[in-house]
Amino acid sequence: MFWILGSLVPIANLERAHSYKDKIARGVPANFGLFAYPVLMAADILAFGADLVPVGKDQIQHLEFARDWATRFNMTFVDGYDPQDPQAKKQRHAPGILKLPNARVPERAAVVPGTDGQKMSKSAGNVIELFAADAEVHRQIMGIRTDSAPLESPKPIDSALCGLLAVMAPPGEFAQLDVSWKAGGKGYAEYKKVLLEYFHATFDAARQRREELRRDLAEVERILVDGAKRAREIATPIMEQVRRAAGIR
């Protein structure tokens, strides 16, 4: 799927990809893997006939690319396909082989701030690692960058700490935190401790399960094999249609 899509994708699309331009601007060396990565992402989505794809705000462009390239494939290889009628609701129109996926952007997590206030990114090193040791998680959360606002002063709402609390707190609880944050009277350390509590309440079950799996690699292998089997059951019929349409079957 990656290769077939790549044979249809205009170079201009990849040159304007946000992720590519951002990394090049930050000095990351340009290579084929970085340049063509949006095609690989689109292949992962389209090979499974996805309808909705949960993404952050910065990934919406990738979904737009996937839709554009699915349309290009359908127009190239499906006789009677009309991009204005992709589901062929009108007579003499043919449905596309590749679905046009839509982005599902969680409102509270559209953009997750990193510990330095920029967008959270593994490559930027500003993450809170879900499966790090307790001491490392504590260090990362307590090290979230804040300003020097006095304890009694209201705190700025554009703070990374405030953004992370908004992501992690149950909705009802964040409303109370928001009032406290804007009123002042508490130091940043107190809010960081609250965030640490939310972190453990949210992720400790998964952290424990990961540790169990780390000690049982046979179970990991079984899960991977089972997952691959279920993935093939979904992707194989779609890929058979793609190969026949492209003339390689």
Please write the tens of the pLDDT for every residue from 60-90.
999 999 999 999 999 999 999 999 999 899 9
DSSP 131-153: TS-HHHHHHHHHT-------TTS
Range 189-198 contact pairs with CB under 8 angstroms and sequence separation of 24 or more: 189/142, 191/155, 191/161, 191/162, 191/165, 192/141, 192/142, 192/144, 192/161, 194/165, 194/169, 195/141, 195/144, 195/161, 195/164, 195/165, 195/168, 196/137, 196/138, 196/141, 196/142, 198/165, 198/168, 198/169
pTM, two decimal places:
0.83
**Are residue 88 and residue 143 in the same domain, yes or no?**
no
Q: Which is higher by pLDDT, 124 or 164?
A: 164
Are residues 140 and 102 both part of a single domain? no
71 with 27, same domain: the answer is yes
Greater confidence (124 vs 115) lies with 115
Q: Is residue 220 part of a domain?
A: no
Q: State mean pLDDT over 220-236.
A: 97
The pLDDT of residue 135 is 98
pLDDT at 108 over 80: no
CATH code, domain carrying 145 = 1.10.240.10
The answer to whether residue 61 is domain-embedded is: yes
Work out the pLDDT band at 209, boundaries 50, 70, 90: very high
Q: What are 19's two structure tokens?
A: 């992720």
Average pLDDT, the chain: 94
For 171, the domain range is: 134-215
Give domain status of residue 228, yes or no: no
Residue 106: predicted pLDDT: 83
Q: Are residues 15 and 57 in the same domain?
A: yes
Residue 81 lies in a domain: yes
- Answer yes or no: do 13 and 81 share one domain: yes
Average pLDDT over residues 39-57: 95
| pLDDT exceeds 80 at position 109 | no
179, part of any domain: yes
Assess if residue 89 is contained within a domain: yes
Domain with residue 36: its CATH number is 3.40.50.620
Answer yes or no: do 82 and 172 share one domain: no
Number of domain units in the chain? 2
Same domain as 164, residue 89: no
Comparison of pLDDT for 172 and 110, the residue scoring more:
172
Tens digit of pLDDT for each residue in 229-246? 999 999 999 999 999 999
